Structure 1
Amino acid sequence: MTRYFLFTVSFVLLLLLGCSTDQINTNNEEETGTPTTSYFPPIDSNLWESISTEELGWNLTAEQPLYDFLVENDTDAFIILKNGRIVWEKYFGDFTQDDNHAWNSAGKTLTAMTVGIAQEEGFLNLDDSTVDYLGEGWSSMSLEQEQAVTIRNHLTMSTGLDYATGDIFCYDPECLLFKNEPNTFWYYHNAPYTLLDQIVTGATDVAFKDYFYKKIRDKIGMQGLWVSIGYNNIYFSTARSMARFGILNLNNGVWDNEIILGDTTFLRDMKNTSQNMNPSYGYLWWLNGKLSYKAPGSEATFNGKLIENAPNDLYAGLGKNDQKLYVVPSQDLVIVRMGGDAGEAQLGPSSFDNELWGLLNDLMQ
């Protein structure tokens, strides 16, 4: 999609959500020392505590090279949070704090947590067959083959559906063909992921979008909307809303003492290797620090960790055109990047990740 389309949709969303472009950044509360407690921005206010790079003892001379890199790579918004507090918040060009941007596949992480909540509330089980919620004939496979595919397979990109049909986004039955037995091959196939929306709807008897808004978005002060574009459901929001979701994950499903997702087993499994074909993939989250990884659009296995320069415990939501949501528990960090393609037009990981983390390491040393 073009940048003009993104900004057009963004403008419409602003009208729908009642956002005001005359709001100012009011993250001005004075901090003394370096807070180590978790901070949660209020859900009904634009206030957000901040802490400076100087207070953190970071390398101030590294700020300009990082800024220049972000400008050169078509960035719209960039945020660094430490323990939930804003360290860096930058907007570029005409993009502002109140503008909405597509998450692209970084939004898969929203779906993962929504599925976890539906399971916790007893509406479904990850080991249930897809047929239980989509009915027979959701694909062009035999009934036996359909019944073998579980919700967990959709979460882990291990359905075995044919990804060489010419359109990895198409989830019409004629596009969903048998290729491998479930749990035997990993491929970044978007259609089986998108079907999770229908699975949640079928399980809860509530439209997926509305279920997500009620269970996650509204509870943590996010804004934004799911927008259907072709076969894809794309989430659009401000960079700060993406940052809020990062804080929720950094705090293991808890928002300021309110439990949003309390299933510790699901949370653990979501952020760890979910199958034995691609160790760098959890439940729709990308994982760093593993011995190998597979990438979208390829059957190959690559040796080494996903992002060489990044901390081993980093997990990330990664979307087309380099939409990034990084969470680093060991450093209490959440980092958000929204913008245009930085050069590779990848659906998920790209060389941009490694270059960016080299500069972030310089800043945080």
Structure 2
Amino acid sequence: MQSITKNEMKIFPPFKEDIVTKDNWFTSQKNLQRYCHSGELSPSRIIWRGNQKPTQLSYAKDQLDLEKINDKNGESVLAYLERTDTDAFLVMNKGKVVYEKYFNGYRSYETHALNSATKSFVGLIVSLLADEGLLDINKKSSFYIPELEGTGLGDGTVQQLLDMLVPVKYLEADTPFGIGRGTPIFIATGSMPKPENYNGPENLYDFILSSKKDKIPGTAFYYENGQTETLGWIVKRLTGKNIAELIQEIIWSKLGAEENALMQLDLIGTDMASGGMRATLRDLARFGEMMFNDGYYNGQQIIPEHIIRKIKKGGNRNYLAESNHSHLSGFSYHNQWWISHDQFGGYSALGKFDQRICIAPKADTVIVKLSSYLSPSSKETNACQAIIEYLVKE
């Protein structure tokens, strides 16, 4: 029998100040880290990995020394990772892992919150349904969900929702985390408690139905969660399956993933399409490699190649440049992916607190960053770019 040894000293039961709850997970770096590492605060649905053996990741003999790679501001990539509260970081180049490291007690087999990087998975599902003729992207969402007639989100087409071109407004709610348009969805998903005298949506369907028109759909880029949640509702209405099931059937069970992924649910069991997925670093690297290979991975074409090609073409750069995401100079947003339009053909799935799945086709590179960064800067992209440029020169 293996002996049991002490590791990090923990107190059972924990001190009150060490307990992470829905009231305090967003109030400190320490609590946010625990929230990102653990899915225990909210109910979740399993995205099964399937019964096949995991695909083996190949590791390069010579691993990158990130302390010796500096960005254009002179900061080393390793210093950047530490400064931005990185939990796990992996770089693949030419099909091989050239760097993999875990921080802050995060383990390779633990799932990590993807937050809005979840949107990119939903974009693939919607694109595939359209490709199979089950969905017309040029029809309004209210065509598929008649209940949305007269709402802000019901007036946009499926393609406009995919590209975040349906500007809407929501009820503002006063909470411990401030007042703002993003707040009601945290209440609707059950991620934070209701404030006193709150009279807004308490589940994702009511959140979508509460949307009000702000501008004419198709005339402005407006990045927010309700548009992806609307896509999730359309997909469920058409297929009779939840988002977790579809990601499992179409993507996860075919990758040869090592671990199950998870999907956060609201209080009535609705998948959080806009930001509820959790997965491990290595499995996200496998997903990134699949995208890099134009949908082909593990001996099969998981996503049709032309769907990936459409993503890489990108969307309207002028709309994004005129939005509150203008700091992403030269970028566009298309089919729930961020497109950089750089010399490496880069595109990414990005999530709150600095989650990144970056694919650089012309540099043969995939980078995955999982973080618990409470206050990310709008310009935290230099380090990944520095790695890509370094690898291209080697």
TM over 0.5: yes
CA distance in 2, matches of 1:17, 1:281: 26
- One-letter amino acid matched to 2:263: W
CA distance in 2, matches of 1:16, 1:173: 24
| Aligned pairs (5 A) from 1:259-274 | 259-262=301-304, 264=306, 266-274=307-315
| Aligned pairs (5 A) from 1:304-343 | 311-341=343-373, 343=375
- Is contact 1:62–1:359 with CA below 8 Å preserved after alignment? no
Indicate the residue corresponding to 2:261 in structure 1. 224
Cα pair distance change 1:121/1:277, threshold 3 Å: same
Q: Deviations over 1:284-327 (max 9, x none)?
A: 1111137xxxxxxxxxxxxxxxxxxxx55211111111101110
Query: How many equivalent residue pairs?
Result: 311
Q: In the alignment, does 2:199 pair up with 1:190?
A: no
CA distance in 1, matches of 2:90, 2:349: 15
CA distance in 1, matches of 2:94, 2:288: 11
Q: In the alignment, does 2:385 pair up with 1:357?
A: yes
Q: In the alignment, does 2:157 pair up with 1:157?
A: no
Indicate the residue corresponding to 2:189 in structure 1. none
1:158 Cα offset (Å): 0.6
1:282 Cα offset (Å): 1.6
- Is contact 1:43–1:220 with CA below 8 Å preserved after alignment? no
| Aligned pairs (5 A) from 1:62-81 | 62=68, 65-81=76-92
CA distance in 2, matches of 1:186, 1:61: 38
Q: Deviations over 1:245-271 (max 9, x none)?
A: 11111011122441222261x322222
1:233 Cα offset (Å): 4.4
Q: In the alignment, does 2:212 pair up with 1:177?
A: yes
Cα pair distance change 1:234/1:12, threshold 3 Å: closer
1:351 Cα offset (Å): 1.9
1:77 Cα offset (Å): 0.4
Q: In the alignment, does 2:34 pair up with 1:4?
A: yes
Q: Deviations over 1:55-95 (max 9, x none)?
A: xxx77872694333312321110000113321111111311
CA distance in 1, matches of 2:38, 2:338: 30
CA distance in 1, matches of 2:48, 2:334: 35
CA distance in 2, matches of 1:207, 1:246: 23
Structure 2 unaligned blocks of 5 or more:
1-24, 26-31, 71-75, 173-179, 186-203, 321-330
Q: Larger deviation: 224-233 or 241-250?
A: 224-233
TM-score by length of 2: 0.69
- Is contact 2:169–2:181 with CA below 8 Å preserved after alignment? no
Identity of aligned residues (%): 23
Give RMSD over aligned pairs: 3.3
CA distance in 1, matches of 2:384, 2:261: 26
Cα pair distance change 1:277/1:122, threshold 3 Å: same
| Aligned pairs (5 A) from 1:1-365 | 1=25, 2-9=32-39, 44-45=53-54, 47-53=56-62, 62=68, 65-137=76-148, 140=151, 146=154, 148-162=155-169, 166-168=180-182, 170=185, 172=207, 175-222=210-257, 223-228=260-265, 233-262=275-304, 264=306, 266-275=307-316, 277-278=319-320, 280-289=332-341, 311-341=343-373, 343-344=375-376, 350-358=378-386, 361-362=389-390, 365=393
- One-letter amino acid matched to 1:357: Q
- One-letter amino acid matched to 2:367: I
CA distance in 2, matches of 1:176, 1:339: 31
Structure 1 unaligned blocks of 5 or more:
20-41, 291-310
Cα pair distance change 1:71/1:137, threshold 3 Å: closer
Q: Deviations over 1:147-194 (max 9, x none)?
A: x42111110011232368543464625531112111111111211112
CA distance in 1, matches of 2:232, 2:292: 24
- Is contact 2:145–2:237 with CA below 8 Å preserved after alignment? yes
CA distance in 1, matches of 2:35, 2:253: 26
Q: What SS does the corresponding residue of 1:52 show, helix, strand or coil?
A: coil
1:5 Cα offset (Å): 2.5
CA distance in 2, matches of 1:13, 1:43: 26
1:8 Cα offset (Å): 3.2
Q: What SS does the corresponding residue of 1:218 show, helix, strand or coil?
A: helix
Cα pair distance change 1:281/1:329, threshold 3 Å: same
Q: What SS does the corresponding residue of 1:219 show, helix, strand or coil?
A: helix
- One-letter amino acid matched to 1:7: H
CA distance in 2, matches of 1:14, 1:134: 25
- One-letter amino acid matched to 2:56: L
Cα pair distance change 1:267/1:163, threshold 3 Å: farther
- Is contact 1:186–1:277 with CA below 8 Å preserved after alignment? yes
Cα pair distance change 1:11/1:185, threshold 3 Å: closer
Q: Larger deviation: 84-93 or 156-165?
A: 156-165
- One-letter amino acid matched to 1:353: T
CA distance in 2, matches of 1:341, 1:62: 23
CA distance in 2, matches of 1:15, 1:267: 27
- Is contact 2:44–2:263 with CA below 8 Å preserved after alignment? no
TM-score by length of 1: 0.75
CA distance in 2, matches of 1:269, 1:191: 23
Cα pair distance change 1:18/1:351, threshold 3 Å: same
